[in-house]
Amino acid sequence: MPKYVIEREIPDAGNLSAEQLKGISQTSCGVLRNMGPEIQWIQSYVTGDKVYCVYIAPNKDMVREHAKQGGFPVNSVSEVAAIIDPTTAE
């Protein structure tokens, strides 16, 4: 199944409190439960003004539907072509 990186512009995201991040996570998980097992949230990276999320889903439309139902911004959805790490150099 394809893996996607979603870029979300959220002003001051890096200053969200643990409680706010928990609430956002709970909303996301609730939407995912309703959408079924085809879409999975792997993890997210919170930076200054953006959040980068990694999802597994059958297509971009499903990723965008998750965002719509959760009320999350989506600035871009990019399919992962390859994954590399230090072991790739071996």
Tokens standing for 40?
A: 């999975």
The whole-number pLDDT of residue 82 equals 97
- C-alpha 72/C-alpha 64 separation (Å) is 9
Tokens standing for 5?
A: 């990186």
User: Quick one: DSSP state of residue 30?
Assistant: H
The whole-number pLDDT of residue 32 equals 98
Structure confidence by residue, pLDDT tens digits, 52-62: 999 999 999 99
Structure confidence by residue, pLDDT tens digits, 32-72: 999 999 999 999 999 999 999 999 999 999 999 999 999 99
- C-alpha 54/C-alpha 11 separation (Å) is 19
What's this model's pTM, rounded to 2 decimal places? Answer: 0.92
Q: Which residues pair with 42 in a beta bridge?
A: none
What domains are there in the chain, each with its CATH number? Answer: 3-89 (3.30.70.3090)
Question: In the chain, what percentage of residues exceed pLDDT 90?
Answer: 100
